[in-house]
Amino acid sequence: MATTDELLAANLHGVFGERDEAKRRATAAEVYTDDVRFTDPDETVVGLDAVVAKAAALLAGAPGLVFADEGPTYLAGDRAALAWTFGPEGAEPVARGVDVVTLRDGRISEVLTLLA
């Protein structure tokens, strides 16, 4: 079973930061529940396929941009959070945010993305 840190890293880098469709889908299947819910300021999507499609659309609209962790993982019960940046590698980020996840049975059942 993956640790909370590993789940948060997989969400950020293995799904939302992964440009290879097959790798992104495989990671999503490992770390999310089938009924995963993802909410950001634009919308809420539900289900594994919907979250994978959301990540693909984000990356398609942001060529050359990458996610980077920004700080430690925060934990409280079945919730965890990780701050991140998004931008050109080695340059000033174009976006900053925090992912707050809910864990169920060792997997992510909900992702709430808050933007700075």
Q: What pTM did the predictor assign?
A: 0.95
Domain span at 109: 4-115
The CATH code of the domain that includes 106 is 3.10.450.50
Is the Cβ–Cβ distance between 86 and 65 less than 8 Å? yes
> What letter does residue 15 receive in the DSSP assignment?
I
Chunked mean pLDDT (size 10), the chain, 116 residues: 95 98 98 98 97 98 97 96 97 97 98 97
User: How many structural domains comprise the chain?
Assistant: 1
4 contacts: CB under 8 Å, gap ≥ 6 = 73, 75, 80, 103
